[in-house]
Structure 1
Amino acid sequence: MPDEVRELPAARNDGLARFIGGTPLAVAVRLVLLSILVGVVLSAIGFDPWNIIESVRRLFISIWNLGFDAINWVWRYFLLGAVIVVPIWLISRVVNAPKR
């Protein structure tokens, strides 16, 4: 049996890790934290997880009723988030760029 080549467990999961973007445990932790964050944001705008269709309908009615003030509100939050998200995204793309 010394001549046999054994496959390491990490090598077996290499395709899976590449597909999901990391080790399964790390990806699961990131997804849980991101889900909590998105849940807080959706809760703040009035979404209900048990009746999502009604929540979306209420959101669109609210946006319609608020008119351009809602667009201004969404635009401000978009800009506020973009100030953080876009530079982080750009840095991650530069850092992970293929080397020549």
Structure 2
Amino acid sequence: MFRFLRQQPRRSDSAKAAKERLQILLAHDRSDRARDDLLPLLQRDILEVVKRHMRVDSDAVEIKLQRGDDMSSLEINIEVPDAQSRQAG
């Protein structure tokens, strides 16, 4: 009977730790999904801004998000048209 009383707090502590770990994993998974959903939105918004100033094909915009341990970087490549087609029409 004394063993049961001693083990009860350990199980409770273990359950709390497992719950915290699961919450961290779920938050991390959600943030990854949010980042993946962000790229198409960024591409659309950037394309809209660029189109205000020049004619650009939708396929001419490429966006890459690279994630590292300490830092993430966003790379944007836009194929700029020649001088004759720069004015939006």
**Greater relative CO, 1 or 2 (CA 8 Å, sep 6+):** 2
Give the shorter-chain TM-score range. 0.3 to 0.5
The structure having more radius of gyration, on CA atoms, is 2
The structure with the greater share of residues assigned to helix is: 1
The structure with the greater share of residues assigned to strand is: 2
Normalization by structure 2: what TM-score?
Answer: 0.35
Normalization by structure 1: what TM-score?
Answer: 0.32
